[in-house]
Structure 1
Amino acid sequence: MDLSLVIPLFNEDESLKELYSWICRVGESEKLDFEIIFVNDGSTDKSLEVIHELAAKDKRVRLISFRRNHGKSAGLNVGFAAASGDVVITMDADLQDSPDEIPGLMKMIREEGFDLVSGWKKKRYDPISKTIPTKFYNWATRRISKIHLHDFNCGLKAYRNEVVKAVNVQGEMHRYIPVLAKNAGFTKIGEKVVQHQARKYGTTKFGLSRFINGPLDLLTLAFVSKFSKRPMHFFGLYGTLMMIFGFLAALFIGVEKLVALQMGEKARLVTENPFFYLALATMVIGVQLFLAGFLAELVIRNSNKPVEYTIEERINFES
């Protein structure tokens, strides 16, 4: 199969038929063998009914439906697992991503040899409350990942099939899939300027929580990218440094007391010395960090269970 389109959605019943027709028009004009994988993320409107209707008349339309809302990352994760096309393209279901970009994205994967191509919505039709945080996230992600993309969170991306099978998108890490791909060893990552459509139906499904979750996910990714396979190198290093500092502070207290005794002076109580509390605190924190690293190493070596999602039904997939 040439192409798998993975489209996670939540309450997008108004746009689905138009999106399906647009994709079919492009795919058939390019003579592509393609499938459309809709991942219904617990929609409460008529999205499920619309997809049932489309799937009944066209076997290229496939459905994975969650029993409840799991988030976009979960939708992409199960969609990636089900995709069978040589090229996998993701897009949002709200018509803000243009299917007319499909041929150009496929060309960059097939002919130019990219592992992943991310869309860049150079001209956006989003409110300033969304564009300013997006610019900050993109800047911070570029600095941390050393991947020079302008728009990490663009929903319109193309991948070689091997890439989507290698990445594990959990939590809300869909924003940083290029970083996950790089960590998996796929380093040929490109970018294509794509057309951004103004929202035609409904409203955005991402609320104010993205302003908190975005930076937290970025910090998590920065840590996991560097220390996920060797957490003891992080916790053990800083724990050891803290314990050494605490030991030196305690040593200073002891030396000070001995010097005072040798000179015949009345030595002050250990608890009257501020270094005592500094030594105590740093040694306790150092031990805790060291133990955290040790426990993290044990967890990594004994936990390989993947995240499971409760899928209610699948349509037009081979058993």
Structure 2
Amino acid sequence: MNLSIIIPLLNEEESLQELHKWIVAVMKANNYSYEVIFIDDGSTDSSWSIIEQLSAENLNVKGIRFLRNFGKSQALHAGFAKALGDVVITMDADLQDNPEEIPDLYTMIINQNFDLVSGWKKKRYDSVFAKNLPSKLFNWAARKTSGVQLNDFNCGLKAYKNAVVKNIEVSGEMHRYIPVLAKNSGFGKIGEKVVKHQARKYGETKFGMDRFVNGFLDLITIWFLSRFGKRPMHLFGALGSIMFIIGFLSAGFIGFMKLYKLYHGLPYDLVTNNPWFYISLATMVIGTQLFLAGFLGEIILRTKNNEERYKISNEVNLNN
């Protein structure tokens, strides 16, 4: 199979039939064998009924329905697990991603041997202050932190080799950082393509300003996981050692000063009256806590079990 097209969605009943018709036209024009996997992330409108209708009319259409809203990362994870195509395309369901970009993305994966190609919505139709400026700041921080030189981490239109989606773990809200996850997994040939951005035709955006706050927090998380996720003791142990050194030096300074004053017959205060006593005590306690955090991290890493991160209530046309 040439293509798997994965489309996570939440309450997009108005756009699904039009999007399906558009995708099918592109697939037929290019003679692709394909599957379209819709993942209904807990919609409360008639989205699932439309997916069932489309799947009955077109056996290439498949659907996964979550019991409730679990988030885009979980939806992509479920779609990746089911994808059969040599090339996997992800796109949003709101008609802002243009299916006519798919052939070029496919060609870049197959002919130019990219592991992943990310879309870049260079010209956007979003509000400048609500999305454009925060997005530019977010993308700048993501480039500096991750080392992946993409202009638009948030673009939902991306293409992957099948091996990439089968070897990365997308959880939490990490869908923004799939290129970083791919790089950390050893898939280093990452490209970018300018794609058309369509103005939203139906409904309202499901994302608010809070996604950028969460995005920066996730960026810190993925930086930590990429550098210390498999060796947490390297970070916490190093910080704990620094705290211990400061604590012992402070305690040594207190002891030295007391002995010095005793030797020379000078008056001295109680140890607890010396501010260095509290510095020493605090840093040694912090050092102990950091060491414990490192040990706990190592234990959790070695004993963790894969948790079920979402619940599926229905599937259509999925037998694998």
- The aligned residue for residue 281 of structure 1 is 282
- The aligned residue for residue 250 of structure 2 is 249
- The aligned residue for residue 173 of structure 1 is 174
Cα deviation, residue 212, structure 1: 2.0
Does residue 1:97 correspond to 2:97, yes or no?
yes
Partner AA of 1:69 in structure 2? N
Cα deviation, residue 209, structure 1: 2.1
- The aligned residue for residue 292 of structure 1 is 293
- The aligned residue for residue 305 of structure 1 is 306
Please give the alpha-carbon distance, in whole angstroms, between the structure 1 residues aligned to 2:215 and 2:308: 21
Once structures 1 and 2 are overlaid, which stretch shifts more, 19-28 or 263-272? 263-272
Does residue 1:76 correspond to 2:76, yes or no?
yes
SS of structure 2 residue aligned to 1:166: coil
Gap regions ≥5 residues in structure 2: none
- The aligned residue for residue 141 of structure 2 is 140
Partner AA of 2:18 in structure 1? E
Please give the alpha-carbon distance, in whole angstroms, between the structure 1 residues aligned to 2:131 and 2:301: 36
Please give the alpha-carbon distance, in whole angstroms, between the structure 1 residues aligned to 2:77 and 2:127: 28
SS of structure 1 residue aligned to 2:119: strand
Partner AA of 1:101 in structure 2? E
Partner AA of 2:253 in structure 1? F
- The aligned residue for residue 3 of structure 1 is 3
Once structures 1 and 2 are overlaid, which stretch shifts more, 143-152 or 207-216? 207-216
Structure 1-normalised TM-score?
0.99
Please give the alpha-carbon distance, in whole angstroms, between the structure 2 residues aligned to 1:176 and 1:307: 21
- The aligned residue for residue 223 of structure 2 is 222
Please give the alpha-carbon distance, in whole angstroms, between the structure 1 residues aligned to 2:237 and 2:67: 42
* Contact 2:138–2:212 (Cα < 8 Å) also in 1: no
Please give the alpha-carbon distance, in whole angstroms, between the structure 2 residues aligned to 1:290 and 1:127: 47
- The aligned residue for residue 236 of structure 2 is 235
- How many percent of aligned residue pairs carry the same amino acid? 60
Deviations 1:267-288 (A, max 9, x none): 1111111111111110000000
Partner AA of 1:211 in structure 2? F
Please give the alpha-carbon distance, in whole angstroms, between the structure 1 residues aligned to 2:227 and 2:314: 38
- The aligned residue for residue 194 of structure 1 is 195
Please give the alpha-carbon distance, in whole angstroms, between the structure 2 residues aligned to 1:307 and 1:136: 34
* Contact 2:66–2:310 (Cα < 8 Å) also in 1: yes
Does residue 1:16 correspond to 2:16, yes or no?
yes
- The aligned residue for residue 53 of structure 1 is 53
- The aligned residue for residue 272 of structure 2 is 271
Please give the alpha-carbon distance, in whole angstroms, between the structure 2 residues aligned to 1:304 and 1:152: 30
* Contact 2:135–2:212 (Cα < 8 Å) also in 1: no
Partner AA of 1:261 in structure 2? L
Please give the alpha-carbon distance, in whole angstroms, between the structure 1 residues aligned to 2:85 and 2:5: 8
* Contact 2:74–2:309 (Cα < 8 Å) also in 1: no
SS of structure 1 residue aligned to 2:96: coil
Gap regions ≥5 residues in structure 1: none
Q: Extract structure 1 runs of 4+ deviating beyond 4 A.
A: none
Partner AA of 2:77 in structure 1? N
User: Cα RMSD over matched residues?
Assistant: 0.8
Does residue 1:26 correspond to 2:59, yes or no?
no
Cα deviation, residue 153, structure 1: 1.0
Structure 2-normalised TM-score?
0.98
Partner AA of 2:112 in structure 1? E
